[in-house]
Amino acid sequence: MGRVGDKSVVLTGGASGIGRAAARMLAAEGAAVVIGDVDEAAAGVAEEIRDAGGRATFVRTDVRSWDDVQHLVEAAVREHGGLDVIVNNVGVAIGGSAGEMSEEDWNRVLDVNLSGVWRGMRLAIPEMLKTGGGSIVNVSSVQSLVGFVGWSGYAASKGGINALTQQAAVEYAPQGIRVNAIIPGTILTGMNEGILKEHPDRDTLMSRWAAMHPIGRIGQPEEVATAIVYLASDESSFVTGMLLRVDGGMVVKAG
């Protein structure tokens, strides 16, 4: 049956990185996964899951669009009879210090990273209430807890996710909806691969990133996916409002 057997799951940002790993792992553990992404590569992820015997579909989704997110949630309800879990994973990395970042970049990173999470929650919660509860898993970042030079908008968006997660956890616990957030450290995702590709000395930057983690390396998407599966499953039935760090000890070291 699997750890999330027969659960209906919506997951955003499933084309690569943490989202792809989580979609595969959730499906392998029995969930029916509806993947939303603007990247058509997510359709290939859904196909891979089906080829492996799992259940997955793709719905093109821009989390900045209310209608897109609504269609994504409706697809899960229509195809699987309800919605048990939503994993809000989409994020963009836009750099800029507080005194230099453009308003356009600020608005975009907040709209995708924070408002995109809120739209997912806002549209998922009414469906979960119809069936007596569910689990919401939001993907934040260590940059919500530790300062990094030149990433003010990104950090603000992720800090907002933490606050929204804890607020909603208190609001909806009586109705059986658990709301938690994952706080990844540096993970080898497509986003970080892009940063590495643009850096003049990839190896030096990789070494610098690894040294920030007491474990001595950066993380893999599957290590975050494992935590997502835990929070999606009934194994975490007494866990809500949690900011679960999967960061190789980065925050402890920085603190």
**Whether 28 contacts 53, CB under 8 Å:** no
Beta strand residue intervals within 65-190, DSSP E: 85-88, 134-139, 177-184
Measured in whole angstroms, the distance separating CA 79 from the mean position of its chain's CA atoms is 22
Measured in whole angstroms, the distance separating CA 211 from the mean position of its chain's CA atoms is 25
Active site residue 154: yes
DSSP assignment, residue 142? G
CA 176, 124, 75, 183 dihedral sign is negative
CA neighbours closer than 13 Å in the CB half-sphere of residue 48: 15
> Which residue among 58, 151, 154, 172 is the active-site one?
154
**Among candidate residues 206, 195, 101, the one with its CA nearest the CA of residue 157:** 101
Q: How far apart are CA 112 and CA 89, in angstroms?
A: 10
Q: How far apart are CA 15 and CA 201, in angstroms?
A: 27
State the Cα angle at 88 between 226 and 160, rounded to 5°: 110
**Whether 85 contacts 137, CB under 8 Å:** yes
Q: How far apart are CA 229 and CA 205, in angstroms?
A: 30
Element (H, E) at 57: strand 55-60
Active site residues: 154
